Structure 1
Amino acid sequence: MNHSPVHATTTHSFLPKVSVVVPIYNGEIDLPDLISCLLSQTYPKDRVEYLLVDNNSSDRTLTFLKTAAELSPLTIHPLSENQIQSSYAARNTGIRSATGEIIAFTDADCRPQPQWLESLIQPFINLDVVIVVGEITALPGKSILEQHADRQETLSQKHTLSHHFCAYGQTANLAIRRLALEKVGLFRPYLTTGGDADICWRILMAKIGKLEFAPNAVVQHRHRTTLKELQSQWRRYGRSNRYLHELYGVELMPGLTRKEYYYRLVRWLVKEIPKNILKAIAGKASFVDFLSTPIGLFTAKARYLGQSEAKLPEQAQIIDWL
């Protein structure tokens, strides 16, 4: 398996039909910006279809999708997944309606950059490539939490590509050859988190082909702005870790002992704060530097809580098929 960087180049001779699948739950606010980003794509419009799947939204998402399909120069298919409340079930609904040989994925709250699709598709010119992972960067943020997450590169695919068990890509920026989905199945529709890793691992373990990283295929995403959102995000990471442990035997993330927790807090107060005060006087430290340790402890605790409380639902064993 190889996930070395592939630098995208414009190749007019390689333009496979692409289906872009986007699951949407209460995405009314995000959709105008998303559609604008899709309109800006450099990949030929007549070679792409956009399957936008409403997952039982309570806002006007579906109405917006139908209007966009009528008025947009893009090929937009508005779809609904109302049986199962899960982004993976919604993606499966999109895949089943897809006609492209490459299926690309992003999310409603993502902002694909103009070269995104062109860069994401190019590595597939090599028939050995069955998964391509693009990069996820942060939309500009002003809050302390956003600046901290940006510094930690929380969203970057480099974390998933270097996973100790097996590399994978997040569905915010991922493309899979249809042939691979025909062979190993679709997403687990009842899984609520961890499905990105699961589908990539099933494909890679089946030895169908390899994974490539396309760093120029960039999607921007907004970091969490409140402690509640941040806690929810990291609890979900913890649940994902537990589910993948139960499905694959992936090693669980160790939690901090009370002793380690207090040691880090004391070290922050006694050592890091004085050091950062001196740096701030010299103009080399910001407010984010002062809060890096407590925010890190907060997210570590949230992840461990999510991991401790989670239990893989029995239905999550089910894999959908084309």
Structure 2
Amino acid sequence: MSLSVVIPTLNGRDRLAAALDALAAHAPDAEVVVVNGPSTDGTTGMVRDRDDVDVLVEVSTRTENVARNAGLSVATGDVVAMLRHDLVVESSWLDGLTDGLTDAPVVTGPTHRTLEGGMTTEESEHRRVGSRHVTHFNGGNVAFRDTVLDALDGFDEYLETGGDRDVAHRLAGLDYEVAWRPEMCVRREYSADGGDASADYGTEFRALTYRLVKNYGLRPAAATGPSRRALRDAVSAAGDVVRGDLNPTEWLGIGRSVVSGIARGAADGLIARVKDRSAARNPHGVSDRSDRAVARYDWR
């Protein structure tokens, strides 16, 4: 097995350095592809000063799926792993990955997070959508055989969020199994800094509706997810209004964002379904364009 590891990154120099250190320690023979950009924190210089990165690709877009596809375009391994820049592989990661590929052409594992009260982890997530048995995976810790990535044509660059969820549905449509290995674990080295907790409801519901309509058409399977999610969020936001944490005008604004997101996602999903009638269901994949990279440094 020849392994490539693709790491998209954006303004995460220190966390990326920790991820690269762990890969060098626990998967020293892997080809490492970093897709950067557009970062402004010195990431490029840090990567170019290292001798354990094989390819650095600079991109001009902040969309994660574009970065992922840019990395897939240059990776040469017959197995390609996707790793988030803020996650570090643990010592058993490579063994878990290798073992999982004996059972399925896609393998994933949990993320360990250290909290004050101890450590949390994750379990495998499955659900049935229509006639498909969908296995969701962590898009920051997953490995594919290259034949699977070719069949998928990579990630759908229309999606600003939920690209891994879309791939999970398409894997199920192509009858590919996803193996779960607790040993293929990664760890979050840095605690969250809080960030901006506000949600972009329009973008989230557009992505959710798009990927369901694209994969299932205008069927109950496509309508159930957005409807349940919209109802749950509406009830939650109404509770915030009652408690005084959200004013009614903001609540109505959220509702408009949800409705417009669903409408646009459904329309764009239907267009995508018509544009790519193949089982891949990916009109915005790796083969769709060749101009993602603005610079490339190859030390192989």
TM-score, normalised on structure 1?
0.66
Q: Bigger CA drift: 190-199 or 255-264?
A: 255-264
2:25 alignment partner AA:
S
| Residue 40 (structure 1) shift | 2.5
Query: Unpaired segments of 5 or more residues in structure 2?
Result: 217-221, 246-251, 273-281, 289-300
Equivalent residue number for residue 23 of structure 1: 8
Task: Render the CA deviation track for 1:122-170: whole Å, top value 9, x for unaligned.
Answer: 22134xx11111112213358xxxx9xx87x6xx353xx2234322212
- Aligned counterpart in structure 2 of residue 206 of structure 1, from 174, 188, 200: 174
Q: What is the RMSD of the two structures over their aligned residues, measured on CA atoms?
A: 3.6
Q: Bigger CA drift: 162-171 or 177-186?
A: 162-171
CA 1:37–1:257: 2 relative to 1, 3 Å? closer
- Aligned counterpart in structure 2 of residue 255 of structure 1, from 231, 242, 255: 231
Equivalent residue number for residue 57 of structure 2: 79
| Residue 242 (structure 1) shift | 3.2
| Residue 197 (structure 1) shift | 1.7
Query: Unpaired segments of 5 or more residues in structure 1?
Result: 1-15, 270-293, 295-300
- Aligned counterpart in structure 2 of residue 107 of structure 1, from 75, 80, 84: 84
The answer to whether the 8 Å contact 2:170/2:215 transfers is no
The structure with the greater share of residues assigned to strand is 2
Q: Provide the C-alpha distance between the structure 2 equivalents of 1:223 and 1:304, rounded to a whole number of angstroms.
A: 32
Q: Provide the C-alpha distance between the structure 2 equivalents of 1:56 and 1:263, rounded to a whole number of angstroms.
A: 39
Q: Provide the C-alpha distance between the structure 1 equivalents of 2:114 and 2:206, rounded to a whole number of angstroms.
A: 26
| Residue 260 (structure 1) shift | 7.3
The answer to whether the 8 Å contact 1:135/1:219 transfers is yes
CA 1:109–1:213: 2 relative to 1, 3 Å? same
| Residue 224 (structure 1) shift | 4.1
Equivalent residue number for residue 68 of structure 2: 91
Q: Provide the C-alpha distance between the structure 2 equivalents of 1:305 and 1:178, rounded to a whole number of angstroms.
A: 42
The answer to whether the 8 Å contact 1:237/1:306 transfers is no
- Aligned counterpart in structure 2 of residue 121 of structure 1, from 98, 103, 106: 98
Q: Provide the C-alpha distance between the structure 2 equivalents of 1:195 and 1:258, rounded to a whole number of angstroms.
A: 24
Q: Provide the C-alpha distance between the structure 1 equivalents of 2:11 and 2:32, rounded to a whole number of angstroms.
A: 18
The answer to whether the 8 Å contact 1:17/1:101 transfers is yes
| Residue 240 (structure 1) shift | 4.1
- Aligned counterpart in structure 1 of residue 35 of structure 2, from 45, 53, 71: 53
Q: Provide the C-alpha distance between the structure 1 equivalents of 2:67 and 2:105, rounded to a whole number of angstroms.
A: 22
> After the TM superposition, which residues 187-226 of structure 1 pair with which residues of structure 2 at under 5 Å, given as runs?
187-207=155-175, 209-221=176-188, 224-226=192-194
The structure with the largest alpha-carbon Rg is: 1
1:36 alignment partner AA:
D
The answer to whether the 8 Å contact 2:82/2:140 transfers is yes
> After the TM superposition, which residues 156-305 of structure 1 pair with which residues of structure 2 at under 5 Å, given as runs?
156=122, 158=124, 161-165=125-129, 166-207=134-175, 209-221=176-188, 224-226=192-194, 229-232=196-199, 238=205, 240-249=207-216, 250=222, 251-252=225-226, 253-256=229-232
Count of paired positions: 252
Residue identity over aligned pairs, in percent, reads 18
CA 1:52–1:262: 2 relative to 1, 3 Å? closer
> Match of 2:115, SS?
coil
The answer to whether the 8 Å contact 2:159/2:207 transfers is no
| Residue 112 (structure 1) shift | 1.7
CA 1:121–1:257: 2 relative to 1, 3 Å? closer
The answer to whether the 8 Å contact 1:121/1:175 transfers is no
| Residue 306 (structure 1) shift | 7.1
TM-score, normalised on structure 2?
0.70
